[in-house]
Amino acid sequence: MLVHICCSVDSHFFLQKLREDFPEERLVGFFYDPNIHPYSEYRLRLLDVQRSCARLGIELIEGPYDYEAWLNAVRGHENDPEKGARCEICFDRRFEMSARKAREIGEKRMTTTLLVSPKKSQEQLVRTGERFARSHGVEFVYVDYRSGGGTQLQQQVSKKERLYRQDYCGCMFGLTIQRNQQHKLADELFSPVDGSVLPGSIEERLAMYEERLKIEEEGKEYRIVRQKFLNYRLKYGWVKRKKETIPSYILPYSVMKRRYTSGKIETKLDSLYCFNREEIRFVRLQDFNRLAERFWHSVAELVYDPPSFTEALHIREKLGLGLWDLSPMIVLEEIPAGKLEILIESEQYQDVREILVTI
């Protein structure tokens, strides 16, 4: 039987139950989820599914990540609610590819771990699954592992196996709607131009779970603990003089009460140049280089190859801005005279991150 897999939280419990109910059946996992965005989230879910299948001794096949084709398929349904038409189109693509793969490898049956997800309509899944299974000459197997306490048991298995527990379905449209309803920032969709890893980001979690695999291979004991902290995301910002943009680098935790202000530099304190509005501080690139013990030839180079988030915070401290200081800190190549315009669009918010601790 070919088993379409969406994530480890659903698949681990689902595959265990299938083995109990179909002991003579050869189970083959098929990870095909082109809806998952961003790609780092796709890699993270695949990584945990690979770990899960290895622990269960289940063969796993990865399907293509044809994300652009999926985007074209759901065009016009970006604002549909969960379990709406967009989800059905998404199921169509995954079930069609699963049915094709089943025929290709000689399997006569197929099913999907989506059936165990409490956020999915089983009726919708069965209707779509049976349609594509019939069209490719295979049987769609419907099982209900949610009822009778199944969902609670699934959660217990997930916790015991320390599986990665994502908190959104996978597609960016569903994520955006969900975060808007929660009045939260969809920070999963932030990707800095320099490719740096932001705190609490998917990329940070991916690195942690990759490190977890190494620790398990070495036979070491570990714990994954949760930490509450103040997170920060810079959406965009600029500095202008006489309507012309000046190359600038804005350090983390630069916060303005109003997103835009104008004024002039009025005080110099050691390496800092103090603006007369919004507690903004400027530092020249040569002084920033000295404190960072690095050498950037230009601010443009700094923007595309910045210090890490943690290093940037240390530099703020060296400049006299403590842990609780949210004053905007901006690096310029030279400090201009006259009136400046400044815009900083940023978010600071309470967040939770996972930390890997070896024992």
Tens of pLDDT, residue by residue over 202-218, are: 999 999 999 999 999 99
Dihedral-angle region of residue 106 (phi above 0 means left; psi in -120 to 50 means alpha; beta otherwise): left
- CATH superfamily membership of 2-189: HUPs (3.40.50.620)
CB neighbours of 319 closer than 8 A, spacing ≥ 6? 271, 272, 281, 283, 291, 329
Tens of pLDDT, residue by residue over 276-325, are: 999 999 999 999 999 999 999 999 999 999 999 999 999 999 999 988 89
Of 255, 271, 256, 253, the C-alpha closest to 309 is 253
Tens of pLDDT, residue by residue over 50-81, are: 999 999 999 999 999 999 999 999 999 999 98
Instruction: Give the integer Cα–Cα distance in Å for 176 and 185.
Output: 9
pTM summary value: 0.92
Domain ranges for the chain, please list them.
2-189, 234-358
Cα 40-249-256 angle, rounded to 5 deg = 95
CB neighbours of 80 closer than 8 A, spacing ≥ 6? 86, 87, 173
Q: Are 40 and 202 in contact (CB under 8 A)?
A: yes
Instruction: Give the integer Cα–Cα distance in Å for 283 and 99.
Output: 60
Instruction: Give the integer Cα–Cα distance in Å for 341 and 98.
Output: 55
> Is pLDDT at 136 greater than 90 in this prediction?
yes
